[in-house]
Each structure stands twice: as C-alpha cells, then as structure tokens.
Amino acid sequence: MQFDYLLRKVFFAVITLIVVIVFNFFLFRILPGDPVKLLFRNPRLTREAQELIRVQFGLDKPVWLNTERLSAGDIPGALDSQFTAYIHNLLQGELGVSFANRQKVGELLSERVWRTVLLVFSGELMAIVLGVMIGLVAAWRRGTKVDSAALFIGLLTWALPTFFLGIILLILARGILPTGGMVTPGLAEEGSLEYWVDVGRHLILPTLTLAVVSASGYMLIMRSSVVEVLSEAYILTAKAKGLSNTRILFSHALKNAMLPMVTIIALTLGYVVGGAIQVETVFSWPGIGRLIYDSVAKQDYPVLQGAFLLLAISVILANLTADVLYSMIDPRVKVT
C-alpha cells in the first residue's frame, strides 16, 4: 500500500519534470521575440561566442523535428533538431552562456545555489519552529487574549508582501545589522571562522523576513489543526484516562496535528521560493533569487531559463521528498 502510493507519486513527479523541461524549451523559442535568436544576433557577443552558441543550440536546425531528413527516410537524422540539442545539452549540464558576462550558466548557478539553499533552509527551519510553537499555544489558549493576539499578528503578516517586510526590517535595522550582501568585503578571509560569522550576521535579516512570512501561515494552520484535533473523541478518551493536560497535548494532540503540517510545508515550498527571490533582491543576497532579478533587468535569457529550470526541479523534488516522508510517518498510509 505504501509502495503503491509512492509509486504513483514518483510517476507523477517524473511526468511533471518532463513537462517542465519541455515547457522551458518552448518558452524561450516559441514565444514572440524568440530570445535565443535574439541572443544569436546580440552585437555584444564576439564572433567565437556566436559560433559557440550556434553550434551548441543548433540554431540553424529546425526547432522540433527535422522533417526534411524524415521524408528522406533518415529516422535518426529526423531527431536532429534544436529540441534534441537542448535535451542533449541538458543532460550534460550545459545550460548555455550568460549574455551579461559570458560565463557558463551552469557554473553561475552552481556557484550561487548553496547560498539560496542556506537562506531557504534557515528561513524554513525558523518558520516551522515559530509557527508550530505559536500555533500550539494559540490553540491551547483558544479564545484568550494570547490567541487573539496571535491571530491578529498572523493575519497581518499573512497580508504583508514579503519584499515589503524586508524593506521595513532593512530600515529598522540600519546601523545595527548589515543590510546587504553576504559578507562585508575585505573583513575576513574566505573560509575562516570570522568569515562565517560575518555570513551569519548578514543572514539574520533575510532569514527573519522569510521566516516571518512563512511562519504566519504555518501558525494559522497549526492552530486550526490543533483545535480540530482537540475536539476529537480520542482526546476525550485521553482525558477520561486521567492524563494531565500537558500529557494530552504532547502525547496525543501534537503528532496528529503535525501530520497535515508536513503536507502543508511541501505545498508552500513554491511560495517560499518566490519569497526567496524577493528577499534576496531586497537584501542583495547573492543567491539564485538575486540572480533572477538581475537577469530580468539585463534580459539575460539563458540565465533566466537555467535558473527557472533549477528552481522548478528543486520544488518538484522537494515535494516528492515530502510525500515520501509523509508516507513514512502516517501509520494510516504506512500499514494497511
């Protein structure tokens, strides 16, 4: 049963991945303006770079299917198209070359990806801890001032655009915490302890921004989940057994209430990524998000294409992981 469930999930993830990859290709070739052709004719590129691009992306070949060769009976040759070249490149990790600085997109992405991972990871961790704790307390003290305060703040932050919260924190923390970048230039040697402390200091505000926005959603959901759980019959049974309120909360209510949270966290990963883009922009955190913002401004399409693919694939895989995780912790799925 668990295997069945997982198989379906994996299958779906694979299909989604395929669709995303194909979509990514078409987005940049079919839509009006054909940016790759634009790329090709970009006067800023040197002749060698242009040749490189032409060969790599097969710009002289047909987009989808080589019908000429097909009608000539040449089946393998029929696949000689831009699309095949794209897949071929993709499998080798070749994502093209940036317009702006002629660096390979693949390199650019792998340089910066860990910074975004660090940010998102810290942010989500903080968000989960905050959200679960406050949600639990609010549900337990339902109807009291604590609950009302939590609800109010929760709704307020839910309505707040992520980037604006970042701006507010930026203004408030001016002078106290670093407000941009990942490190203060020249402060410490890369890799040293001071370096990482410096990174840490720069990480505080962006993480806080990401965390607060996510936490409000988690808090509201956790609260409602706990309230719902507390009205279930087995909680009454636990009370009838003579268990103390704390015991009931932690031994019975918590696990049940947290199960949907796993799913919710997976569901909202897409939003977290969107939030990361905003946060990195506001705080100039040099990750994938900031890269996207800069690339949009510079119309650096290869980078955009590559970054989008990376993000989409990450979210799809993260969702799959969450599904697997869920199947391992909910006994109703695990054993039947």
Partner 1 sequence: MKQFKLFWHKPGGVIGAVMLLVVLFAAIFAPWISPYDPYERVQVEADDILAPPDSEHLLGRDDAGKDVWSQLIHGARVSLLVGFTASFVSMFIGTTVGLIAGYFGGKLDNFLMRIVDFLLVIPDLPLALVIIAVWGRGLWKVILVISLLGWTYTARLVRSQTLSIKERQFILRARAIGANHRRIIINHVLPMVLPLIMAQAVLDISASILAEASLSFLGLGDPTLITWGNMLNFAFERAVSRQAWWFLLPPGFAILWVTLALILIGTSLEEIVNPRIKSHHLFNASRMVSLILPVPPSAEAVKEEP
Partner 2 sequence: MLEVRDLSIDYLSNGEPLHAVENVSFKLERGRSLALVGESGCGKTTTMLSLLRLLPAEGRIVSGQILYDGVDLLQLSEREMRRYRWNGIAIVFQGAMNALNPVRKIGDQIAEAVQLHDRLDNREARQRVGELMEMVGIAPERARQYPHQFSGGMRQRAMIAMSLACNPDILIADEPTTALDVMIQAQILDLLQKLQSQLGLSIVLVTHDLGVVAELCDDVLVMYAGKVAEYGDVDTIFNNPAHPYTRRLLEAFPDVDSPTSTLASIPGYPPPLDKLPVGCRFEPRCYRKSELCAAVSPDVLEIKPRHFVACHHAED
Binds 138: which of partner 1, partner 2, none (CB < 5-8 Å by kind): none
Show contacts with partner 1 in window 144-163 (CB under 8 A).
155-156, 158-163
Reduce the DSSP state of residue 103 to 3 states and report it: coil
Which of 215, 232, 332, 328 has its CA nearest to residue 271?
Answer: 215
Binding site for partner 2 (CB under 8 A): 232-234, 236-244, 251-252, 255-256, 259, 330-332, 335-336
Show contacts with partner 1 in window 275-334 (CB under 8 A).
277-278, 281-282, 292-293, 296-297, 299, 301, 304-305, 307-308, 311-312, 315-316, 319, 327, 330, 332-333
Which residue lies nearer to partner 1 by CB, 78 or 165?
Answer: 165
Six-digit token pair at 307?
């970054």
Show contacts with partner 1 in window 220-239 (CB under 8 A).
220-225, 227-228
Q: Is 35 in the site for partner 1 (CB under 8 A)?
A: yes
Longest dimension (CA), the chain: 83
Q: Phi then psi for 104, rounded to 5 degrees? A: -70, 135
Which residue lies nearer to partner 1 by CB, 113 or 188?
Answer: 113
8 A C-beta contact, residue 278 and residue 162: yes
Which residue lies nearer to partner 2 by CB, 75 or 240?
Answer: 240
Smallest distance from partner 1 to CB 312, Å = 6
Binds 37: which of partner 1, partner 2, none (CB < 5-8 Å by kind): none
Helix orientation angle between 301-329 and 105-140, rounded to the nearest 10 degrees: 40
Binds 241: which of partner 1, partner 2, none (CB < 5-8 Å by kind): partner 2
Distances (CA, A) of 80 to 69, 71, 84: 9, 13, 6
8 A C-beta contact, residue 315 and residue 210: no
Smallest distance from partner 2 to CB 120, Å = 29
Q: How far apart are CA 54 and CA 27, in angstroms?
A: 18
Smallest distance from partner 2 to CB 218, Å = 20
Six-digit token pair at 276?
């990361």
Which residue lies nearer to partner 2 by CB, 185 or 331?
Answer: 331
Which residue lies nearer to partner 1 by CB, 31 or 91?
Answer: 31
Q: How far apart are CA 327 and CA 27, in angstroms?
A: 35
Outline where DSSP puts E strands in 96-225.
Answer: none
Binds 311: which of partner 2, partner 1, none (CB < 5-8 Å by kind): partner 1
CA angle 9, 271, 147 (to 5 degrees): 105
Show contacts with partner 1 in window 64-123 (CB under 8 A).
none
Binds 78: which of partner 1, partner 2, none (CB < 5-8 Å by kind): none
Q: Phi then psi for 260, rounded to 5 degrees? A: -65, -25
